[in-house]
Chain A
């Protein structure tokens, strides 16, 4: 399977704990995105990387959230001091990174479902 993969698929944690999710993009995809999706809503953009550079962050990404893509391949999303409001599906997507003005299709992974008790 050469699609976007995410681990773990499910995570249950207690409030106040730290959690880390991993995303492995499609190989040769330069761009990697993180989105959050709550029940009954569409995905909301969190941040994206062009290779290892984090180029845009949403205001949804509070200081408890940090994302990295150290070698321009896989990425991690860490949430510190989790709160019940962090419960959601965290989706990762990747794209080739075509120039602006071109369509640059984003391919999504299956997501990591986080439940904060």
Chain B
């Protein structure tokens, strides 16, 4: 099965600075790379995703970059705000296997934005 690791496990940054979280995966068949944000008391919510035919995707202050050769992808948050404080999970998966619909979540990164 997929082995998914995230680094760092905790990250504190000053408001306005940038944050980067890295996700390393083992399954070379993975070709879909989403990032989820989980706030306290809530379920995870998709914030950005990328497919393997694209190296980078940006949506306002967040971006995801992919290095498929090295089997890792990263979440970048710029101009961080207090509401960015949450736990972030990556969940890489292959899209081609019928029946393989489950998400395998990474180990999680707790991001704290310091006002």
Contacts and interface: CB of A to CB of B under 8 A. Distances in A.
- Say if A and B assemble together: yes
B47 to A, nearest CB: 11
B101 A33 contact: yes
A106 B34 CA distance: 11
- Interface band, chain A: 20 to 34
A16 to B, nearest CB: 28
Nearest to A102: B95
B78 interface: no
A110 B40 CA distance: 10
Interface in A59-107: 91, 93, 95, 100-107
A108 B98 contact: no
Contact of B101 (A43, A104, A109): A104
Contacts of B29: none
Q: Pick the most buried of B42, B43, B104, B107: most chain A CB atoms within 10 A of its CB.
A: B43
Contact of A91 (B43, B51, B99, B108): B43
Interface string B70-104: 00000000000000000001010001111101111
B25 interface: no
Given A103-B32, A110-B41, A43 B95 contact: no
The majority secondary structure among interface residues of chain B is loop
A100 B43 contact: no
Given A93-B43, A108-B44, A45 B104 contact: yes
Nearest to B106: A42
B105 interface: yes
A108 B43 contact: yes
B98 A100 contact: yes
Contacts of B99: 55-56, 100
Interface of A: 4, 31, 33, 35, 40-45, 48, 55-56, 58, 91, 93, 95, 100-111
Given A55-B99, A102-B95, 19 more contacts: A33-B101, A40-B108, A41-B107, A42-B105, A42-B107, A43-B103, A43-B105, A45-B102, A56-B101, A58-B102, A91-B44, A103-B95, A104-B101, A106-B103, A109-B43, A110-B41, A110-B42, A110-B43, A111-B43
